[in-house]
Amino acid sequence: MEYTYEIIDESRIIKVNVFGVLTTHETALMGIIIRVKAYEIGYKLLFDYSQLTSIQISTGAAYFWFPDHYDNVNIKLRHIPTAILINKTNHSAFNFFENTCYNKGIKLKVFEEDKRALEWLKQN
């Protein structure tokens, strides 16, 4: 997995572009780095996963994602509004993650269109 990110000051958003194969360990490390940065500067997050080649994260790992990876760093990381941009191929995996986050009170929503994701972030 590789990623790049840009800080968009006018929107107060950090946009992360992720490429390749999504694995638990690499994704968790990236998430900690980016979420801590967003929390420190008070920005929202947009993760663009639309260019992934595959996802190698189990359903169980997705279900316990925040408790296992972020809550021990800072419980407030779950309150950062986060939009996830996906393609149709990985819709079911991210839909499960979105529902899991919603049930746990985590502000995260999945989109297939960049414009809709940005509009949602502006409102949250």
Q: What backbone torsions phi and psi does residue 10 show, to the nearest 5 degrees?
A: -65, -25
CB atoms within 10 A of CB 101: 21
**What are the pLDDT digits (tens) for 41-62?**
999 999 999 999 999 999 888 8
Distance between CA atoms of residues 66 and 102, nearest Å:
12
Residue 93 has what pLDDT? 87
For 13, the domain range is 2-123
User: pLDDT at residue 20 above 90?
Assistant: yes
Per the structure, the count of domains in the chain is 1
pTM above 0.85, yes or no: yes
CATH of the domain at 40: 3.30.750.24
